[in-house]
């Protein structure tokens, strides 16, 4: 009897174990320790206050995942990928997003069945927060806020340059990034287009960190920051507005409200650039977009959409031409012109 290959099933059975192995190593500061110097299990156990035998098993598992290696002196060191993306000291670090995934997303995904059964996010079930305080968990302390924002920053450094190049933005003069967080997209766009100026528009608590990180960009002199709430406050003047990973957070009624506000504020010939991961038109892929859509179910009131679904929302808000591009990065790009 010919049996189907069980490999995809077996792989998924243990997939969460691989994720948690990386999460645990990062939570113990392993990648930060190894960024300083190669270390033995005994050295690491003392510095991380862990059981040496148990830690050795974790280290060998992380090595098997290709994130660290061990030399002939029994010392472990970071792989190039870990040094770049998992050590906090790296300017391209994803450590904040990994920490957020471990401490927030991992517990919430444990309630996926309930989210599907009830059609609502799991903040209250997981952390005792009501849906009305949707983003309070991200900002409940200064450390939590910084961890979340730096996670988004690391993720943004992977996608923002590709989104900025997805369309020719050279004809625009003033970009306004609504909910622009740490300014990673505003900087990427200004670095790509020398005549462009940009404004990062976000909540007052976010702007302080944005200014800190924008200073590191070679285009820093052309990137300003303005504090505000894009649902409540007057939008800064611009001919190109940007929404990066914003629309997928909200239900349709809030999306329509925001798109109408932007369309009303834009001058003739202005445009809106959206960065989101697009679903295929038949909604059968890609896998990453579907995992993110489930993540939105668990964490927010939103979802991922196809280009056709975004086009319908944008046309109804007053935009005329709507184009979409698959960038090959974690986020795709949509350009809607008024």
- Summarised one tens digit per residue, pLDDT across range 89-101 is 998 899 989 998 9
Task: Specify the pTM.
Answer: 0.92
Q: What is the mean pLDDT of residues 213-225?
A: 96
For every residue of the chain, which 3-state class applies, written as one string? CCCCCCHHHHHHHHHHHHHHHHHHHHHCCHHHHHHHCCECHHHHHHHHCCCHHHHHHHHHHHHHCCCEEECCCCCEEECHHHHHHCCCCCCCCCHHHHHHHHHHHHHHHCCHHHHHHHCCCCHHHHHCCCHHHCCHHHHCCHHHHHHHHHHHHHHHHHHHHHHHHHCCCCCCCEEEEECCCCCHHHHHHHHHCCCCEEEEEECHHHHHHHHHHHCCCCCHHHEEEEECCCCCCCCCCCCEEEEECCHHHCCHHHHHHHHHHHHHHCCCCCEEEEEECCECCCCCCCHHHHHHHHHHHHHCCCCCCEHHHHHHHHHHHCCCCEEEECCCCCCEEEEEEC
Q: Across-strand partners of 273?
A: 242, 335
Residue 135 is predicted with a pLDDT of 61
Active-site amino acid positions: 248
Q: What is the mean pLDDT of residues 320-329?
A: 96
The verdict on whether omega for the bond into residue 286 sits within 30 degrees of 0, i.e. cis, is yes
CATH of domain 132-337: 3.40.50.150
Residue 128 region, left (φ>0) first, then alpha (ψ -120 to 50), else beta?
left
Q: In this structure, what are the phi and psi dihedrals at residue 218, rounded to the nearest 5 degrees?
A: -65, -15
Q: Are 78 and 86 in contact (CB under 8 A)?
A: yes
Angle 179-184-188 from CA coordinates, rounded to 5°: 120
Taking only the tens place, the pLDDT of each residue in 99-111 is: 989 998 999 999 9
For the cut 80, the answer to whether the pLDDT of residue 138 exceeds it is no
For the cut 80, the answer to whether the pLDDT of residue 252 exceeds it is yes
Domains in the chain: boundaries: 7-87, 132-337
Q: What is the mean pLDDT of residues 268-285?
A: 97
Residue 150 is predicted with a pLDDT of 84
Residue 152 is predicted with a pLDDT of 84
Q: What is the mean pLDDT of residues 258-278?
A: 97
Q: What is the mean pLDDT of residues 114-125?
A: 95
**pLDDT band at 144, cuts 50/70/90?**
confident
For the cut 70, the answer to whether the pLDDT of residue 204 exceeds it is yes
Taking only the tens place, the pLDDT of each residue in 27-76 is: 999 999 999 999 999 999 999 999 999 999 999 999 999 999 999 999 99
CATH of domain 7-87: 1.10.10.10
């Amino acid at each position: 009897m010919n049996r189907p290959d069980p490999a995809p099933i077996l792989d998924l059975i243990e997939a969460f174990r691989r994720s948690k192995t990386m999460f645990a190593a990062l939570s113990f500061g392993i990648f930060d320790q190894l960024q300083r110097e190669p270390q033995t299990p005994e050295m690491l156990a003392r510095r991380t206050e862990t059981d040496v035998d148990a830690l050795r098993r974790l280290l060998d598992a992380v090595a098997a995942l290709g994130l660290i290696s061990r030399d002939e002196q029994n010392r472990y060191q970071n792989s190039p990928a870990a040094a770049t993306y998992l050590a906090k000291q790296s300017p391209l670090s994803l450590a904040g997003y990994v920490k957020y995934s471990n401490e927030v997303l991992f517990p919430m995904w444990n309630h996926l069945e309930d989210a599907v059964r009830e059609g609502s996010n799991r903040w209250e079930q997981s952390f005792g927060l009501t849906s009305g305080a949707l983003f309070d968990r991200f900002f409940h302390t200064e450390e939590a806020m910084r961890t979340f924002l730096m996670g988004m920053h690391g993720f943004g450094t992977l996608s923002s340059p590709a989104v900025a190049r997805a369309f020719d933005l050279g004809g625009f003069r003033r970009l306004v990034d609504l909910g622009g967080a740490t300014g990673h997209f505003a900087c990427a766009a200004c670095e790509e287009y020398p005549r462009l100026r940009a404004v990062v528009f976000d909540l007052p608590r976010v702007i302080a960190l944005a200014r800190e990180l924008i200073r590191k960009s070679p285009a820093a002199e052309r990137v300003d920051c303005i504090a505000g709430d894009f649902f409540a406050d007057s939008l800064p003047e611009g001919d190109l507005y940007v929404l990066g990973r914003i629309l997928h957070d909200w239900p349709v009624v809030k999306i329509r409200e925001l798109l109408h506000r932007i369309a009303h504020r834009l001058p003739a010939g202005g445009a809106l650039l959206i960065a989101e991961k697009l679903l295929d038109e038949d909604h059968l892929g890609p896998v990453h977009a579907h995992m993110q859509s489930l993540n939105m179910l668990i964490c927010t009131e939103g979802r991922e959409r196809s280009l056709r679904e975004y086009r319908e929302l944008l046309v109804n808000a007053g935009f005329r031409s709507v184009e979409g591009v698959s960038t090959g990065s974690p986020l795709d790009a949509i350009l809607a012109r008024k």
